[in-house]
Amino acid sequence: MKGITFEGYFELMERTVENEFIFGMRPVIEALKAGTEVEKILLQNSVRSPQTHELTSLARHLGIPVQMVPLEKLNRLTKRNHQGVLAYTAQITYQKLASLLPMIFEAGMEPFMLILDKLTDVRNIGAIARTAEASGAHAIVLPSRGSALINADAVKTSTGALHRINVCREDNLKTAITFLKESGLKVAAITEKAAVNYWEADLSGPVALILGSEDVGISEEYLKLADVRVKMPMLGEIQSLNVSVAAGVACYEIVRQRQIKE
């Protein structure tokens, strides 16, 4: 590493890590170069320097989102000398969907994926991961932007499942869904806009479930890509389920159909 020794890097990191983030221009740059998993970077919108160019270039190359924010936001997050930059460290190691899917097929398994469209509640992500792992899903696919960070609360809610199930972070969810379809997976959208009950659809074989955000559901562009839309019938006054509950119902319907198939 240019300008810093290996031992000096870890000494620097010890002084600049606070809970779940790293702060300071050089520590964040060196963390990225060292392969530290980073969820996203907050960069002060008025800072311009050769180092900020180096930082943003590295982040772009690694597929890490950079959000421009006012100084006040960074000051609220830490009282330390952040130098206009703060990076949220990842609690898990992410996988690449394009590399993972062929491995599943090569192992003789039928892929079972969950695609989470911009979920903003970390507890929902954790709960879905727990159910997904328990029901034999191979991976969860998240967008790199617009989704809640997988932090310590998400890992805790998942009871450790986020360390056991593959999690793929994709820059373009539409491209990821198209890739899954072209690879032979049936894409099923869980939505109240469907006319078919979840148990009436054929969810056997390679399959990917799409679940939408807590407030607006699945984006229309992703709904258009779905091979089938299914719903959970609402028989009471409340006309929607928590997304993690809906995920649980759908996951175990897939388990049921796979067991019948066997």
| Contact of 21 with 77, CB cutoff 8 Å | yes
Mean residue pLDDT across the chain: 89
Are domains 6-89 and 97-261 of this chain identical in fold? no
From CA 184, how far away is CA 180, in angstroms rounded? 7
Superfamily for 6-89? Ribosomal protein L30/S12 (3.30.1330.30)
Tokens of 110: 């039928």
Q: How confident is the model at residue 206 (pLDDT cuts 50, 70, 90)?
A: very high
Which residue ranges make up each domain of the chain? 6-89, 97-261
Dist CA 86 CA 66 (whole Å): 10
E strand or H helix that includes residue 51: helix 50-62
pLDDT digits (tens, 9 = 90+) for 5-15: 444 444 444 44
| Rounded (to 5) percent helix, strand, coil in the chain | 40, 20, 40
| Residues 30-45: b if buried by 16+ CB within 10 A, e if exposed | bbbeeebbbbbbbbbe
Class at the top of the CATH hierarchy for domain 97-261: alpha beta
pLDDT tens digit sequence for 141-178: 999 888 888 888 898 999 999 999 999 999 899 999 99
pLDDT, position 86? 92
> First and final CA of the chain: distance in angstroms?
54
**Cα–Cα distance for residue pair 207/182, rounded to 1 Å:** 12
Q: Are strands 228-231 and 196-197 parallel, antiparallel or unpaired?
A: parallel
pLDDT, tens digit, for every residue of 90-145?
888 899 999 999 999 999 999 999 999 999 999 999 999 999 999 999 999 999 88
pLDDT of 89 reads 87
Residue 143 CA to residue 120 CA, distance in Å, equals 11
